[in-house]
Amino acid sequence: MRCSGADARTIAARVFRSGEALRDRVATYGEIIDVDGAVIDRGLALAMDAPRTVTGEDVVELHVHGSPVVARETLRALLHAGARAAGPGEFTRRAFLNGKLDLSAAEAVADVIDAESRAAARAAQANLAGALRDAVDGVRAALSSVLEELAGAIDYPDEVPEPARERVHALVGEVDAKLDALIGDWERGRFVREGLSLAIVGPPNAGKSSLLNALLGEERAIVSATPGTTRDVIEESFAIDGVAVRVLDTAGLRASDDAIERSGIERARRALDGAAVALVVVDGSQALDADARAVLENTRSRARVVLFNKRDLGAAGYDARDDGERDALSGTVFDGAAVDAVRRAVAAAGWHGESLDFARPHLASARQADAVARAREALAHARVTLAAGEPVDLIVPELFAAVAALGEITGAAATEAVLDGIFSRFCIGK
């Protein structure tokens, strides 16, 4: 549990009791106590003084045992001692506001917090290192440079020559292509940030729960065996090539067979509605029953993966499958190779199996994507205006708008940057 802010130590002292005083960056053992002095738990307190902390403010971390009750009671004690619960992403925002990170880096931190998969963490780390800032800044600097020439020629007509229109046009085109690539990565990267939603559907006893367990792997199955949070009850996630795949309606999959029978096809349909990809499991060892045929038919028009399960028991159903299921997989969920085949098929259906280059910088938020989109809109206007042979006074505002929009990502002010460029590049003034 982390407290950040000028009063972090004061507040921590009200809930943490120890024989020795907290020292900077030294863990201290002691008791977590409530408002009446009763011991909630025993644990460690770690104080870190500003500014060398993650938020740039004084920070005290309380390390307590993992029980939800202990965590809740500790939080309650902290609130009683004068702390305020952090809003979503507040630590990140404070880190940014305290100058610990630039805007893009702060949003990359938010990505780390939200990321459930390794790939997202890698991409976020690339941004943390400033790769996004460098990429956007490079584009912004190129635009700013030509804008300096245009604006310089307007404000100092006797001293700064107007740049050739062909060169301006070519540069705007190059910049636009780079921004297009950033937006493309952003759109593909949606799976990285948000994950892919998957519904596992099929008749009772087709092996859906077993397939889920196989996909989740041993570790996750154990975690979800002791549901402690709401999310664990209704949603599981696993990774394929580093992309988080969220399985919808696992509650239904995990309910008893009686429950499945009771809610039947209806429940599967609801899960299907919200899913990007359907994973259809049927018993392929015998002739398909009416339920199996119905679920296959209902999912034909959408992105799906079909597994004819229970290959070890036979393949009668698989062999007699319709043309619509020509590409269906056949195997058993207890066979690692078959489960891998399912993973690959889900990747192909979900994001066409495209490998995402996570080492490349990517836009980390919808706000950044919006800024790039606005820059591109302004550049599109600039290109039309240039092509039409309009005078430069109509091109300059569009380029200014583009530079300003990109500056929102890196935190640079357009007007000042352009003026600085003009005065440092051109020797002007009567």
Interacting residue ranges for another protein, rule: CB under 8 A: 90, 93-94, 96-99, 103, 151, 153-159, 162, 381, 388-394, 396-397, 400-401, 408, 411, 413, 415-416, 418-419, 422-423, 427-430
Give me the least distance between CB of 258 and another protein, in Å please. 50
Please, what is the minimum distance in Å from the beta carbon of residue 62 to another protein? 22
Dist. CA 106–CA 364, nearest whole Å: 9
Minimum distance of another protein from residue 39's CB (angstroms): 32
Query: Shortest distance, CB of residue 208 to another protein, whole angstroms?
Result: 45
Give the nearer residue to another protein in terms of CB position, either 29 or 423.
423
CB of 270 to another protein, least distance (A): 36
Using an 8 Å Cβ cutoff, are 315 and 308 in contact?
yes
| CB-nearer residue toward another protein: 16 or 91 | 91
Residue 97 or 373 with smaller CB distance to another protein: 97
When the beta carbons of 120 and 392 are compared against another protein, the nearer one is: 392
Q: Give per-residue burial for 225-259: e unless 16+ CB within 10 Å, then b.
A: eeeeeeebeebbbbbbbbbbbbbbbbbbbbbeeee
Order of strands, sheet of 243-248, starting from the edge strand that comes earlier in the sequence: 235-240, 243-248, 196-201, 277-283, 304-309, 329-330
Secondary structure element (H or E) that encloses residue 47, with its range: strand 39-48
Q: Tokens 């809930």 — which residue? A: 15
Give the total residue count for the chain.
Answer: 430
Strand-by-strand arrangement of the 2-4 sheet: 2-4, 59-63, 39-48, 27-33, 16-17
What's the min distance (Å) between Cβ of 421 and another protein? 10
Return all residues near 380 (Cβ < 8 A) that are at least 6 apart: 176
> Toward another protein, which CB reaches closer, 11 or 342?
11
Which residue, 354 or 420, is less far from another protein as judged by CB?
420
Q: What is the spatial distance between Cα 149 and Cα 168, in angstroms, rounded to a whole number? A: 10
CB of 241: closest distance to another protein in angstroms? 34
89 neighbors 97 (Cβ within 8 angstroms): no
Q: How far apart, in Å, are the Cα atoms of 193 and each of 154, 217, 350?
A: 44, 22, 14
Residue 82 or 324: which CB sits closer to another protein? 82
